[in-house]
Amino acid sequence: MENNKIAVGLDIGTTKIVAIIGRKNEYGKIEVLGIGKAKSLGVKRGVVSNITQTIQSIQQAVDEAENISDHKINDVVVGIAGQHIRSLHHSDYITRNNADEVIDEADIDNLVNQVHKLVMLPGEEIIHVLPQDFKVESESDIKEPIGMYGGRLEANFHVVVGQVSSIRNIGRCVKSAGLNLADITLEPLASASAVLSQEEKEAGVALIDIGGGTTDLAIFKDGIIRHTAVIPFGGNVITDDIKEGCSIIEKQAELLKIKFGSAWPGENKETEIVSIPGLRGREPKEITLKNLSKIIHARVQEIIEHVYLEIKNYGHETSKRKLIAGIVLTGGGSQLKHLRQLVEYITGMDARIGYPNEHLAGDSDELLSSPAYATAVGLLMEGLENHAKEEVEEVPVTENLDDETETVEEQKVVEKLKPKKKSFFEKFTESLKDFLDNAE
């Protein structure tokens, strides 16, 4: 089966907008064909605040990616973040008409669709319904109920909710940029698929994605997403603090942060000084690196403490919920010097920096393995994953029998077991598309 399907991830961030085109190679690794980026001007804290500017930036990023890859971009998978995102836990059950038939995909779909009918606060919409574990009759903690017998199917869900207006604004920008919104995903989930290994998700891990406008958190345990949160500040507030604290312009503050910034004030000596050219005709400013790192340290500490509070709320101190793999830091903000040490110091957990090269083909561009592209790579993976699922649904059952161990019967069962998690999500994307079409 030739798989030349390409997918496109579009990361609409607060600092930059990235479009990335790729496909899977014969080894199942991701081959990136083109990447385009543009400065993001119309997004504040992960939420679109200026539609016209955002559309221009999207078009710029998409054009650049198209030119590099010689592929025309139509469908894109977009990430969503912002302080309006919240998550909640919910349990629900269905009573099956016929307890003598095995539970199949349709039953799970019914259950998920039922959760989708939950009444939210006015102006909110459900983005993801993620099953945690199932209960069949009185048997609990079941990971995969398909194929079991039982009249009552119950599940715990992690439900991610967002503001309708923010979601529609993103849809609007994508549509007006001449693109088709194939799917919309929570950004921390996308970053997680790009930088975490399956072992880490099993052992228990907290992914912290420090972006420009938001810091996203996703906690996994036993291979399942357990908690998500979006904290409404990121690298930009650090830059703002430097700008205010040193009375310099934003561009200089950003450069200072990247070149000389450190999250750990202890290591700079009082004598280390940077001189910054003054604005037209004014004296240059002298800033000690010690002061710079004090400013950064104070703000970074605040961000980490917010995130750590969320990890505590999840309950990582109980033995059942222990995060053995600790913390993985990613996103542009994770490149700050000594950040990892500070995170380990505040949380007492192991930390590492996550690079999105886990699933990329070996000869990928160096640039791509920067943590700043984690979300974009994850969105691309999501798009390719969706193609794979569509193919599973289209492939006739008798194909793929190169493996002698599987009979046609087993093949049928396997095909049935392939998860089609997207069904409710497609409905959501459809309704969004309808809304946008009617709004024209």
The number of helices, as runs of H, and strands, as runs of E, in the chain is 12, 18
Task: Report the CATH number of the 1-83+164-196+358-440 domain.
Answer: 3.30.420.40
Strand pairing class (124-136; 139-142): antiparallel
Asked if residues 411 and 398 have their Cβ atoms less than 8 Å apart, the reply is yes
- The CATH 3.30.420.40 portion of the chain extends over 1-83+164-196+358-440
How far, in Å, are 11, 126, 156, 181 from residue 184 at the CA level? 10, 12, 23, 7
Cα separation of 196 and 105, whole Å?
Answer: 27
Choose which CATH entry (2.60.40, 2.30.30, 1.10.20, 3.90.640) describes domain 236-291.
3.90.640
Partnered with residue 38 across adjacent β-strands are 17
What is the mean pLDDT for each group of 10 consecutive residues in the chain (440 residues)? 74 93 88 92 89 94 93 91 89 89 90 91 90 90 90 92 92 93 91 93 95 93 91 92 92 93 82 86 88 93 95 88 94 93 94 89 79 94 85 57 45 42 56 64
* The predicted structure's pLDDT at residue 427: 60
Cα separation of 156 and 140, whole Å?
Answer: 10
Burial label, 381 (beta-carbon count in 10 A; 0-12, 13-18, 19+) = buried
Burial label, 48 (beta-carbon count in 10 A; 0-12, 13-18, 19+) = buried
Asked if residues 75 and 58 have their Cβ atoms less than 8 Å apart, the reply is no
Cα separation of 273 and 271, whole Å?
Answer: 6
Q: How far is CA 385 from the centre of its chain?
A: 14
Q: How far is CA 34 from the centre of its chain?
A: 20
Secondary structure (3-state) at 330: strand
Residue closest to 76 by CA, chosen among 59, 89, 93:
59
pLDDT, one tens digit per residue, over 4-40 is 689 999 999 999 999 999 998 888 889 999 999 999 9
Side-chain half-sphere exposure of 29, counting CA atoms within 13 A: 12
- A 10 A CB-CB count for 4 gives 6
- The CATH 3.90.640 portion of the chain extends over 236-291
Structure tokens at 338: 């000594």
Partnered with residue 136 across adjacent β-strands are 139, 153
Asked if residues 182 and 429 have their Cβ atoms less than 8 Å apart, the reply is yes
Burial pattern 307-336, b for ≥16 Cβ within 10 A else e, equals bbebbeebebeeeebebebbbbbbbbbbbb
Identify the DSSP state of 360: B
* The predicted structure's pLDDT at residue 195: 94
